[in-house]
Amino acid sequence: MEIREPDPDESGRIREVVDSSMTTSFRLSPGQIDAVTDDQFADDAVAERLEDEATVLRVAETGDEIEGETVAGFVEGRLEDGWGTVNWLFVDPEHRGRGIGTRLYEAASETMRDRGVEQICVSVLEANTEGHGFVERFGLEHGGDRRIEIADESLVKYAYTDPGVDVDLPGESGTEDATEEAFPETEATDGMLTTTDDGETVYIDRDEERSGTAAPFYVTYEDEALTDQYGFYCANCGSVDISMDNVDRLECADCGNTHAERSGESYDDSYL
């Protein structure tokens, strides 16, 4: 395996890796995946980053004399305000289980530290079902959320940092504090987050979260003590008109945000 800078003519292969990785591991619709890849990993977007001195791009090349060499993984980091932020890390599902993700993360982190960054931050989309566990294996902890806009798609990123780090996270264009902005149609009532349904106050438990294709769902209750469950709240649009089928699949009737349980067997250390 070789970790190196990508060539400009490899942007097409990078996009293939991104698309296959997101299709396998992200709770996003095909349209959302296309929007992200079109916006972030088009030929001109990759070429622009290659020319940006504040951006660190690395690919993992694997193969042999018989099958030939191929790009099997990709990582992007950015230096800003004394931070090194790993924004994207993808490994082709066909090449997982070989330590490619770990090598890419270590290479990007080492490069950014060599360039003088003081702290490393890793951003993971909330919809990335396997990325959170991967990052936590390096001892990083969830330090905050951000809502980002990519090609008119509103997504939530989790920021992971070293334990005990108490500084402002690096800024990012088009982002908002998810803890402030991720709960439309709500208000604080005696320290609790609430919404209303047909004039009735509904209490939202922010500790009981279910992932969604557009934003998380949260369990709701009829009472402030959070004992009598009311239903679910959609953090994408603020609706409590949420249906659940017999396999615990949630769907918002207003915006189409969905959640489906994944088997515990689906997490297979595929990045490591």
Q: Is the pLDDT of residue 242 over 60?
A: yes
pLDDT score, position 270: 46
Residue 56 contacts residue 77 (beta carbons within 8 Å)? yes
C-alpha distances out from residue 258 to 35, 108, 243, 253, 255, Å: 18, 34, 10, 9, 9
The answer, yes or no, to whether residue 31 has pLDDT greater than 50, is yes
Task: Report the pLDDT value the prediction gives residue 196, as an integer from 0 to 100.
Answer: 94
Task: Flag whether pLDDT at 263 surpasses 50.
Answer: no
Helix (H) / strand (E) element for 32: namely: helix 30-40
Q: Poorest-confidence range of 14-18, 28-32, 221-225? A: 28-32
* Tens-digit pLDDT profile for residues 171-191: 544 444 444 456 889 987 777
Mean pLDDT score, 260-270: 43
**What pLDDT band is residue 266 in, cutting at 50, 70 and 90?**
very low
Query: Residue 65: its pLDDT value, please?
Result: 56
Each residue's pLDDT tens digit, 247-257: 888 999 999 88
Record the tokens describing residue 210, joined without a space: 């279910």
Q: Give the residue extent of every domain in the chain.
A: 2-180, 183-259
CATH superfamily, region 2-180? Gcn5-related N-acetyltransferase (GNAT) (3.40.630.30)
Mean per-residue pLDDT, 259-268: 47
> In what helix (H) or strand (E) does residue 15 lie, and over which residues does it extend?
helix 11-25
Q: Are 105 and 196 in contact (CB under 8 A)?
A: no
Rounded to the nearest angstrom, the gap between the alpha carbon of residue 54 and the centroid of all alpha carbons in its chain is 21
Looking at residue 105, its pLDDT comes to 96
Which residue reads 């270590």 in tokens? Answer: 106
- Answering whether pTM is above 0.85, one says no
What is the average per-residue pLDDT within 34-58? 93
Query: Using 50, 70 and 90 to split pLDDT, how confident is the model at 143?
Result: confident
Greater confidence, 162 or 154?
162
Q: What is the pLDDT of residue 108?
A: 96
63/11: higher pLDDT: 11
User: Which residues on adjacent β-strands are paired with residue 120?
Assistant: 84
pLDDT tens for 92-102 read 999 999 999 99
**183, β-bridge pairs:** none
- CA separation, residue 133 to residues 124, 160, 216, 238 (Å): 10, 11, 18, 28
Question: How much is the pLDDT for 227?
Answer: 94
**What pLDDT does 265 receive?**
36
Tell me the two tokens of residue 31. 């349209």
State the chain's mean pLDDT as an integer: 85
Give 4's pLDDT tier (boundaries 50, 70, 90).
Answer: very high
